[in-house]
Amino acid sequence: MTDKTIDNAIVNPKTYAHVDEFHRLFTQLRKEEPVRWTEPDGFRPFWTVSKHADIMEVERQNDKFLNDPRLTLQTIEVEEEVKKFTGGNSKLIRSLVDMDNPDHRNYRGLTQAWFMPPNLKAISARVEALAEKYIDRLEAKGGECDFVSDVAVWYPLRVIMTVLGVPAEDEPIMLKLTQELFGSTDPDMKRPDATETVNTVTEFFNYFTAMTEDRRKNPKDDVASVIANATIDGEPIGHLEAISYYIIVATAGHDTTSSTAAGGLLALMQNPEEFAKLKANPEGLLGGAIDEMIRWTTPVKHFFRTAAVDYELRGQKIKAGDNLLMCYWSANRDEEAFDDPFSFKIERSPNKHLAFGYGAHLCLGQHLAKMEIRALYKELLARLDHIELAGDPAWVEASFVSGLKRLPIRYSMK
């Protein structure tokens, strides 16, 4: 591959829908140019960081590597469209992942306790009941279905919307908007209009503005009420920040978990010995299997950091103001961080994957995500008799949050 072909492949959404192609490209980068200056057509240039140790080195130093102002891969065209809309700002929302300290610490502190294991215990029975309901739905499909569109997308959506406080009848709109936001580069998922990202975010804004007003008047026992009534230093939080908070919880909270649930099932079907071990001892092996599913699928493919100072990373001279693309999926196949990284092993130990990121921005919802996947698989493993692929799986064409969009299965229940 020429230099330009490599740069264009790194940003091409199609690369992320062809798993083998992706891993060939990044295996080569890790070996030959682990911190690579990248100048793709139609994108502002950046450093591509593909190794596990380097991503940790960057993310651990959140005073030297900032989340603001560049966060995800966007074409210059989309960036310009957003700037026109916002009057100069290259981002439409300002959520936790967009913030640096002191704001990040303050805003994260508002909901952090809510998402920690002691608090999550209070909702575990509800999550288990939902898992049962969605495996009932699988059973009702009668032996053949698309695991993604029939089960995997709906269950985490229901869980996160319950946590947030969105009523069940509004879930289809939440699903549509999230899929448009993360799948805006996939022909099956994008909006038909030209200013798609702006319009999607505007719809989210309208929905959550009404919700804020409601929760200020009638607070309930949900995360929406925590956000709507939050104060920092005695002052109510900003409107943009409140709406952005809902958006990140609503969106980050389900597509990622759906991708893990579906990608994990495919990995188990493709590794029947691992599947058999797990079926024989779900109690003992499920925790490790879930970590391996998350490493294997790595639903969040990247985030950016921007250098605040000049810095040398693996011999490359990063200048203050340069952007760095943290490639989590590549880090999670790094031969120097994992034994036999291309094997799916449910008993992998240690398994220090970076699928939830690292450092101050480490995923807020990681315990919830694991709890959900555990509840779903506990139910599935207890009731499943036989399962096999019933057609070709397909992956979403997206370089930011992506996973399976189709997983046809044939199965029988006990």
Q: Which residues bind ligand HEM (CB under 6 A)?
A: 59, 96-97, 108, 115, 160, 248-249, 252-253, 256-257, 260, 294, 299-300, 303, 328, 355-359, 361-365, 368-369
Least CB distance from residue 365 to ligand HEM, whole Å? 2
Cα atoms in the 13 Å half-sphere on the side-chain side of 83: 10
Q: Which residue, 96 or 269, is less far from ligand HEM as judged by CB? A: 96
Q: Which residue, 360 or 381, is less far from ligand HEM as judged by CB? A: 360
Least CB distance from residue 233 to ligand HEM, whole Å? 19
Q: Which residue, 8 or 257, is less far from ligand HEM as judged by CB? A: 257
Backbone angles phi, psi at 264, to 5 degrees: -65, -40
Q: Which residue, 36 or 94, is less far from ligand HEM as judged by CB? A: 94
Least CB distance from residue 5 to ligand HEM, whole Å? 27
- What is d(CA 314, CA 261) in angstroms, rounded to the nearest whole number? 35
Q: Which residue, 191 or 374, is less far from ligand HEM as judged by CB? A: 374
Q: Which residue, 191 or 333, is less far from ligand HEM as judged by CB? A: 333
Tokens coding 278: 């797990």
Least CB distance from residue 100 to ligand HEM, whole Å? 10
Q: Which residue, 43 or 328, is less far from ligand HEM as judged by CB? A: 328
Q: Which residue, 11 or 58, is less far from ligand HEM as judged by CB? A: 58
Facing residues of 145 across strands? 409
Alpha helices, DSSP H, located in 33-153 = 52-60, 76-86, 103-111, 117-140, 147
Q: What is the DSSP string of 346-414?
A: TT-SS----TT--GGG--TTHHHHHHHHHHHHHHHHHHEEEEEE-S--EE---SSB--EEE-EEEEEE-
Q: Which residue, 303 or 411, is less far from ligand HEM as judged by CB? A: 303
Cα atoms in the 13 Å half-sphere on the side-chain side of 72: 17
Residue 410: count other Cβ atoms within 10 Å of its Cβ: 13
Least CB distance from residue 405 to ligand HEM, whole Å? 17
Q: Which residue, 59 or 146, is less far from ligand HEM as judged by CB? A: 59
Least CB distance from residue 162 to ligand HEM, whole Å? 12
> Phi/psi zone of residue 382: left (φ > 0), alpha (ψ -120 to 50 degrees), beta?
alpha
> Is the CB of residue 274 less than 8 Å from the CB of residue 268?
yes
Tokens coding 265: 């099932």
How many angstroms separate the Cα of 239 from the Cα of each of 103, 138, 212? 14, 40, 9
Helix H or strand E encompassing 244: helix 239-252
Cα atoms in the 13 Å half-sphere on the side-chain side of 269: 22
Nearest to 161, CA basis, from 258, 242, 250, 257: 250
Tokens coding 323: 């952007």
Residue 198: count other Cβ atoms within 10 Å of its Cβ: 17
Least CB distance from residue 142 to ligand HEM, whole Å? 29
Least CB distance from residue 4 to ligand HEM, whole Å? 29
Least CB distance from residue 298 to ligand HEM, whole Å? 7
Least CB distance from residue 64 to ligand HEM, whole Å? 15
